């Protein structure tokens, strides 16, 4: 998923300007039913792959802390 936000250069009273940014995220999963009655899900998810500093124009915390940087999650889930 790709998200593009433009500069916020016309803020309201008491607000601050924010720079635009590009976000890229990806995810994949695989469902394996090879061990009856066990179902296995393998998954991977990556956020902010471009590792950009993101300060959302609608966040009250934008002047104090940016959004999280690059992250990757890998895991599995089993049900029976």
Task: Kindly state the DSSP code that residue 18 receives in the 8-state scheme.
Answer: B
Residue 47 · residue 68 · CB < 8 Å: yes
What tokens were used for 28? 């994949």
Name the more confident of 44 and 59: 44
- Cα–Cα dist 67/48, whole Å: 9
DSSP class of 57: T
How many independent structural domains does the chain possess? 1
Can you tell me the distance from the alpha carbon of 25 to that of 71, in angstroms, rounded to the nearest whole number? 10
42-53 mean pLDDT? 96
On the question of pLDDT at 80 being above 90, the answer is no
> Phi/psi zone of residue 48: left (φ > 0), alpha (ψ -120 to 50 degrees), beta?
left
Task: Please tell me whether the overall predicted TM-score, pTM, comes out greater than 0.75 for this model.
Answer: no
pLDDT tens column, 1-36: 999 999 988 888 888 888 999 999 999 999 988 888
Q: What residue numbers bound the domain in which 36 lies?
A: 2-79
């Amino acid at each position: 998923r790709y998200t593009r936000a433009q500069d916020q250069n016309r803020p309201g009273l008491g607000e601050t300007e924010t720079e635009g940014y590009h976000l890229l995220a990806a995810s994949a999963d695989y469902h394996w039913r090879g061990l009856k009655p066990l179902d296995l899900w393998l998954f991977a998810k990556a956020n902010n792959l471009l590792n950009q500093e993101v300060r959302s124009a609608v966040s009250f915390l934008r002047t104090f802390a940016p959004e999280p940087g690059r992250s990757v999650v890998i895991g599995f889930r089993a049900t029976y």
